[in-house]
Amino acid sequence: MPPTTATSSATLGGAPGAAARRRRLVTTVLVTVLLLVLPLAAGWLGAAWVRTLAFAALYVMLALGLNIVVGFAGLLDLGYIAFYAVGAYTFALLASPHLTDNFPALALAFPGGLHVPIWAAIPLGAGIAAGFGVLLGAPVLKLRGDYLAIVTLGFGEIIRIFLNNLNRPLNLTNGPQGINLIDPVRIGSVSFDRPLDLLGLRLSSPQLYYYLFVALAALSALVCSRLQDSRLGRAWMAIREDETAAKAMGINVRNVKLLAFGLGATFGGVAGSMFGAFQGFVSPESFSLMESVIVLSMIVLGGLGHIPGVIFGAVLLSVFPEVLRHTVGPLQEQVFGHIVIDTEVLRMLLYGAALVVIMLYRPRGLWPAPLHGSVRAPEEAAGGGARP
């Protein structure tokens, strides 16, 4: 067998070659340093930029989760933001005075108020979101393509409308006013809503959240890449490629699809609970259909099913609108001396135009999975060609 040189970051487990391993180490170190320094640099520009970066990390988590459902298993989901909402509201209810204010019995049980710590709230948010994921998955098992998209879209709207209206007869969600006074993240003695002095550096609250979110996003990426290169990941892709053939290969399509919905929703749940803590406030309007569409755009634009592409797409689409927000206004004033087109309108116009242009010239996304020899050569992959 001739040795092939095809290598990529989409490894399939096993032992990579020494050169590839070194390259990977160097990349990891560079990326880590960049991610660590970035918020400090952004801090000079203003707290808004640090917040934008923190949100980018949250969107990376959302995109990675949706990528499991859409990219890996090929199930078009237009209601993904519902799981983000479920995570956010779970955390909001468990770590705010809302429930104790409205339910006297609970106030008696928790005289100090409900303050569930994040090590319990995150798994709960993730678990409940996963439950909702399976709840959505079960009735849509036999649907594909457009039909699946319509049902998931409806599901997303149902969740939002429930959140909007569940303030009567029992005030569970406080309706359109949303839930306020949500606890910030606390790890040990460090409360993320106050700046932290560390080794002569003063880290602001958004910077602290940024580091936490980036760590969670990195963990998400690791989990996703391990899932992708596993027996389960291959089963997802087999279903995406040809469901009938996948069944004939003995794959239990029902279970594997439910796992995709459930695991995908888990990421949404974690991201949502972090969103709740970061904002200190959640309301239904954060979870509109538009948000689902934006997260879907991120993964399609970045490169469906390709983890680095998905991350890239999420960062780009969450940072780009902010860049436009800060540039189109001043730019017009410089060029024309006054604002010609409303900043917000122009921003959305350019944003839309950028999406169209990218899809015209890079239909498989900005950073798609490599086309040929997408995985390492068989010799290398089988552990140095040790085959009988």
Which residues bind to another protein, rule: CB under 8 A? 1-2, 4, 6, 12-14, 223, 226-227, 229-235, 237-238, 241-242, 244-253, 259, 263, 371-378, 381-383, 387-388
Q: How far is the CB of 136 from another protein (least distance, A)?
A: 18
Q: How far is the CB of 115 from another protein (least distance, A)?
A: 30
For another protein, the closer of residues 92 and 299 by Cβ is: 299
For another protein, the closer of residues 218 and 223 by Cβ is: 223
Q: How far is the CB of 210 from another protein (least distance, A)?
A: 25
Distance CA 92, CA 173 (A): 9
Among left, alpha and beta (phi > 0; psi -120 to 50; other), residue 41 is: alpha
Handedness of CA 218, 114, 287, 346 (dihedral sign): negative
Separation in Å, CA 285 to CA 77, 102, 160, 177, 292: 19, 22, 8, 10, 12
For another protein, the closer of residues 154 and 373 by Cβ is: 373
Residues 6+ apart with CB under 8 A from 196: 190, 202, 203, 208
User: By the 8 A CB rule, do 221 and 283 touch?
Assistant: no
Question: Which tokens go with 181?
Answer: 């006074």
Distance CA 388, CA 386 (A): 7
Q: How far is the CB of 252 from another protein (least distance, A)?
A: 5
Question: Which tokens go with 325?
Answer: 């927000």
Closest CA relative to residue 138, chosen from 155, 161, 160, 159: 155
Q: How far is the CB of 345 from another protein (least distance, A)?
A: 40
For another protein, the closer of residues 128 and 185 by Cβ is: 128
Distance CA 299, CA 351 (A): 16
For another protein, the closer of residues 264 and 302 by Cβ is: 264
Distance CA 287, CA 269 (A): 13
For another protein, the closer of residues 271 and 277 by Cβ is: 271
Distance CA 136, CA 319 (A): 31
For another protein, the closer of residues 225 and 318 by Cβ is: 225
For another protein, the closer of residues 186 and 234 by Cβ is: 234
Q: How far is the CB of 264 from another protein (least distance, A)?
A: 12
Distance CA 164, CA 167 (A): 8
Q: How far is the CB of 367 from another protein (least distance, A)?
A: 16
Q: How far is the CB of 106 from another protein (least distance, A)?
A: 34
CA end-to-end span of the chain: 14
User: By the 8 A CB rule, do 316 and 301 touch?
Assistant: yes
For another protein, the closer of residues 239 and 282 by Cβ is: 239
Q: How far is the CB of 234 from another protein (least distance, A)?
A: 5
